Every structure is written in structure tokens, then in C-alpha cells.
A = this chain, B = another copy of it.
Amino acid sequence: MCPSKVAEGDQRGWIVPIGGAENKDENPRILKRFLAVAGGSTAEIVVIPTASQLRDTGPRYQRLFGELGARKVEVVDFDSRGDCTDSGRLDRIERASAIFFTGGNQLRLSTILGGTPAAQMIRACNAAGVTVGGTSAGASILSEHMIAFGKEGSSPRADSVRLAPGLGLTNRFVIDQHFRQRDRLGRLLAALAYNPFAIGIGLDEDTAAFIGPDNTLEVEGSGSVSVVDAGNLGFSSMADAGEEQPVCMLGLTVHILLAGATFNLATRKASAGTLARSKT
């Protein structure tokens, strides 16, 4: 799906992919910042636990965002494609100031929500200014081209990755999560080799990319965000590689960002941001 069009005068809402396993206890700085861009004390958050098959996943985030000070948090589960046309659920989505997808399996999200009124409404809400984010599988689903699954390893192979259409809030990037912890650079590179137009974003656990309406990505959390820009790719052998074969890719630009650093998805420029503060 192509990204929803932002109406004239409107600003797209924040897009917030989180790499999974975000700190929920001593230092829930990612969830706090999500709440801040969701409206702070006036936030009305809808938690969508569809990716998960654990009964407690939704209520847990409901409790967390409530304790952090959200005005209202509701769990809206979509357990079947039929649920995605239910007017009660759609009404609750429409009233939200932010939408949060939990972790689980991103193919549950794409197979249940894909092409339904619920997916259309979430896209339209984001285009109209509503914050949409998610963790782990809930991060992967956000972009137009979603990594459904793949293989471990730092270098790309022709069969490293399988893509599926995602929610399509943006087509500027492809997201991968649990990045450092599950050795996923190769599958992200393979996704970029298929078509180098997008920017790869690899999110470590407890690390998030806060992508503002101006397309500036800011990092929050304890790990790093690996940004892979294939825009200047000089050569790739993907088209000629057999299944399981390694892939040659020449001219990748990589930035390892930490909290405080930024990357502009439009200009493709990285900045050290507050990490480069002058000596005091």
C-alpha cells in the first residue's frame, strides 16, 4: 500500500518503531516519550495486541501507559478480518490520539488487518496527525515493505529475507528489530538489495526511532539504530544470485545512531545532535 496522502494544511503524525524488549520498569524512557508525542496527559491511546497470542499483552501496555499518565488507554484487539469492519472498534480507533501495536508476529498483523477498513483508518489517522507506533512485530508492520521473516547473519544472501506488504504509513524505510540481538544486518541488506530506493532502519532492543512529521528520525533508548542508506549503491548481484547464495553490494552508507543523534529521511543526512555537545 502506498502511504496515505497528507491533506493540505495537515501534518502527518509521528511514526514510532521500537526494537522490542523496551524497558518497562526502572527506565521506561521510550514509553514515556511515546506518551509525550501521543499528547501527554491528554493522550488517548489505543493498544492493538493483534500480533500477540498472549492474553495479557494488551492489558499490560494499558496498565503501563496508564501509570505513566495517559488520560485514557483502551485495548482494541482484532482477532479476525471480520473484527476489522466492526464499527465499535473503528470508532475507538478514530477517537485515539495515538495507536500502539504490541509485539508478536507481524504476519498476524498483515494477514488480519491488511486491506480492511481498520488498516485504512489507521493510515488515515496517521496522515491526519495521529501518532502511530509499535514494538518488535508492531514496528515491522508500520512501513510499506515489511520484513516478514528471514535468516541470521551480517552479510546478505539471496534467501536472507522475505518481504510482505505492511501497513504503509511510509515507504521511505524498511524496518528491522531486535537488530543487534538477533544478528539481522544481512536480512536488512537483502531487503535493500531487492530495491535500493528505501532506507534500512535496524533497531536494537530497548531502542526506538521517533520519526517526526518533518521526516527527522530521532533515537531514544539504550541501544543503537543502524541506518543503512543504499541510495548510492553502485552495484548489486542480487538479480544473478541463486537461492542461498551470498550477494555482492558496493557502496552502502551506514550510520550507527544513539539517543541524541538524528537522521533526516528526506535529505539522508545523519547528525550527532546532542551527542556532539561542545566541551563544558
Q: Is the CB of A183 within 8 A of B204?
A: no
Q: Mark A218-251, 1 if CB is under 8 A from B, else 0.
A: 0000111010000000110100100000111111
Chain B residues with CB under 8 Å of A13's CB are: none
Chain B residues with CB under 8 Å of A179's CB are: 154-155
Is A180 in contact with chain B by the CB < 8 A criterion?
Answer: yes
Spot the interface stretch: A26-34, A78-86, A137-145, A269-277: A269-277
Q: Mark A173-185, 1 if CB is under 8 A from B, else 0.
A: 0000001110111
Is A115 in contact with chain B by the CB < 8 A criterion?
Answer: no
Best-buried of A247, A250, A261, A276 by chain B (most CB within 10 Å): A250
Chain B residues with CB under 8 Å of A253's CB are: 251-254
Q: Is the CB of A261 within 8 A of B275?
A: no
Which of B156, B256, B261, B276 is close to A155, meaning CB atoms less than 8 Å apart? B256
Q: How many A residues touch B, CB cutoff 8 Å? A: 43
Chain B residues with CB under 8 Å of A275's CB are: 235, 237, 240, 248
Q: Is the CB of A155 within 8 A of B237?
A: no
Q: Is the CB of B204 within 8 A of A246?
A: yes
Best-buried of A154, A179, A186, A235 by chain B (most CB within 10 Å): A154
Chain copies in the assembled complex: 2
CA separation between A246 and B234, bound complex, in Å?
30
Q: Is the CB of B272 within 8 A of A251?
A: no
Is A257 in contact with chain B by the CB < 8 A criterion?
Answer: yes
Among residues of B, the one whose C-beta sits closest to the C-beta of A248 is: B258
What distance in Å separates the Cβ of A278 from its nearest Cβ neighbour in chain B? Answer: 13
Q: Mark A147-166, 1 if CB is under 8 A from B, else 0.
A: 00000111110000000000
Q: Is the CB of A248 within 8 A of B235?
A: no
Q: Is the CB of B254 within 8 A of A270?
A: no
Is A104 in contact with chain B by the CB < 8 A criterion?
Answer: no
Using CB atoms and an 8 Å cutoff, list the residues of chain A in contact with chain B: 152-156, 179-181, 183-186, 189, 202, 204, 222-224, 226, 234-235, 237, 240, 246-258, 260-261, 270-272, 275-276
17 contacts between A and B (CB under 8 A): A153-B183, A154-B154, A154-B180, A154-B202, A155-B204, A156-B224, A185-B185, A223-B246, A224-B247, A234-B272, A235-B276, A237-B275, A247-B256, A248-B275, A250-B256, A252-B253, A254-B254
